[in-house]
């Protein structure tokens, strides 16, 4: 590594296709390229409002942004 600026860059994730058809290569994504997120499914369920999701708010409970009356 002769260029000191190479240390501050990361390569983009591997892709398939070109132009408008370009998409991430899901078979080559993983922890080595920084794309692993084990809690993604639980977070998605929580954001979608599934009551059985871990950390899902109770029905009728005030949101954190809303003051309690």
Per-residue pLDDT tens listing for the chain (69 residues): 577 766 766 778 889 999 999 998 888 887 777 667 788 888 888 888 877 766 655 555 555 565 556
pLDDT recorded at residue 41: 85
pLDDT recorded at residue 39: 85
Which residue in the block uniquely carries the two structure tokens 């029905």? 59
pLDDT recorded at residue 55: 65
């Amino acid at each position: 590594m002769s260029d000191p600026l190479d240390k501050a860059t990361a390569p983009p994730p591997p892709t398939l296709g070109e132009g408008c058809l370009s998409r991430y290569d899901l078979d080559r994504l993983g922890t080595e390229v920084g794309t692993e997120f084990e809690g993604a499914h639980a977070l998605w369920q929580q954001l979608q409002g599934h009551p059985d999701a871990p950390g899902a708010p109770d029905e009728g409970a005030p949101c954190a942004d809303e003051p309690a009356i």
